[in-house]
């Protein structure tokens, strides 16, 4: 946590002396360090979300009218069965979004925040090198560079992790946080344009195949050094 506090503080405080930032972090309690890191990461995530909204959310003039949406709404089978004919007050509709491919979205995001991520063949000279995660663009130290999706398990729910108690056998998508939270990204598969159906069951053979082909999948959240165009990002 001290390292995270130093890295995010460096980004917050700009060009201040690194020794001054380290001294500041050493004087902070664990709780204060945790809160400071979380608050600043939250600020960055809000900025990324605003950029995503600018890219994906349609202009007001391009959105379908509320009248046409109401007319196209069909009653459910349950409402017919119980004879319901109730009217509901207007509720905010989910924002209409543009249909974009992953690469188009990635390039648009890079134009707004200065960087994005790409999966390319690893530069590790080994037959099991797999895929590498690369930063395309420029990110300052302490910048949020990625999100790790997955099913979240607190310590009290570990027994529900597929494969329990040997939860880490053949599952390279399983990571743990400093606070005991475990995140299983196996349902997300390899990403890309296609989607993979996951029924929540543990398939050891599939997991081992996934491990051999994707063993270098990174779980980077915050840039620990200044990253520049086409530079490899790794958690190893």
pLDDT in tens, 58-74: 876 555 555 544 444 55
When comparing pLDDT for 43 and 11, which is higher?
Answer: 43
Average pLDDT value over all residues in the chain = 71
Would you place residue 216 in the very low, low, confident or very high pLDDT band (cuts 50, 70, 90)?
Answer: very low
When comparing pLDDT for 57 and 11, which is higher?
Answer: 57
Let me know how many helices (H) and strands (E) the chain has, helices first: 7, 6
Percent of the chain with pLDDT over 70: 56
When comparing pLDDT for 159 and 227, which is higher?
Answer: 159
Strands 151-153 and 182-184: antiparallel
Task: Write phi, then psi, for 227 (nearest 5 degrees).
Answer: -105, 140
What integer pLDDT is reported at residue 86 of this predicted model? 53
Would you place residue 183 in the very low, low, confident or very high pLDDT band (cuts 50, 70, 90)?
Answer: very high
Give 208-211's long-range contacts (Cβ < 8 A, gap of 24+): 208/170, 210/172, 210/173, 210/186, 211/170, 211/171, 211/172
What integer pLDDT is reported at residue 84 of this predicted model? 52
Distance CA 25, CA 28 (A): 5
Q: What is Dmax (Cα atoms) for the chain?
A: 71
Would you place residue 213 in the very low, low, confident or very high pLDDT band (cuts 50, 70, 90)?
Answer: very low
- Helix 30-56 to helix 2-13 angle (10° resolution) is 60
What integer pLDDT is reported at residue 116 of this predicted model? 92
Give every strand in the sheet of 174-176, ordered side by side.
151-153, 182-184, 174-176
Task: Determine the average pLDDT of the residues in 77-89.
Answer: 51
Computed over its alpha carbons, how large is the radius of gyration of the chain?
22
Would you place residue 111 in the very low, low, confident or very high pLDDT band (cuts 50, 70, 90)?
Answer: very high
Q: What are the pLDDT digits (tens) for 120-172?
A: 898 888 888 888 889 999 988 888 988 888 889 999 999 998 888 888 777 88
| Proportion of the chain in helix, strand, coil states, percent, rounded to 5 | 40, 15, 45
Q: Is 171 left (phi over 0), alpha (psi -120 to 50) or beta?
A: beta
**Burial degree of 144 (CB within 10 A; 0-12, 13-18, 19+):** buried
What integer pLDDT is reported at residue 201 of this predicted model? 58
Asked whether the predicted pLDDT for residue 46 surpasses 90, the reply is: yes
Residue in 66, 68, 3, 75 with CA at minimum distance from that of residue 33: 3
When comparing pLDDT for 50 and 83, which is higher?
Answer: 50
* CA 233 from centroid of its chain's CA atoms: 15
When comparing pLDDT for 42 and 71, which is higher?
Answer: 42
Residues making up the chain, counted from first to last: 236
* CA 13 from centroid of its chain's CA atoms: 25
């Amino acid at each position: 946590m001290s390292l995270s506090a130093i890295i995010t503080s460096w980004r917050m405080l700009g060009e201040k002396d690194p020794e001054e930032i380290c001294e500041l972090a050493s004087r902070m309690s664990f709780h204060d360090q945790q809160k400071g890191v979380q608050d600043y990461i939250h600020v960055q995530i809000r900025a990324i979300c605003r950029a995503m909204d600018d890219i994906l959310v349609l202009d007001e003039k391009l959105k379908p009218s509320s009248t046409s949406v109401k007319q196209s709404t069909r009653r459910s089978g349950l409402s017919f069965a119980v004879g319901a004919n109730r009217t509901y007050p207007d509720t905010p509709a989910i924002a209409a979004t543009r249909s974009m491919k992953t690469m188009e979205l990635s390039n648009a995001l890079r134009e707004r925040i200065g960087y994005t991520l790409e999966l390319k063949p690893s530069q590790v000279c080994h037959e099991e090198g797999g895929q590498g995660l690369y930063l395309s663009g420029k990110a300052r130290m302490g910048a949020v560079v990625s999100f790790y999706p997955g099913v979240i398990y607190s310590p009290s729910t570990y027994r529900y992790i597929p494969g329990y108690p040997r939860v880490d056998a053949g599952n390279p998508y399983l990571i743990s946080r400093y606070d005991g939270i475990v995140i299983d990204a196996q349902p997300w598969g390899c990403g890309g344009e296609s989607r993979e159906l996951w029924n929540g069951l543990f398939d050891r053979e599939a997991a081992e195949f996934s491990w051999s082909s994707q063993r270098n999948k990174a779980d980077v959240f915050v840039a620990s050094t200044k990253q520049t165009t086409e530079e490899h990002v790794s958690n190893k």
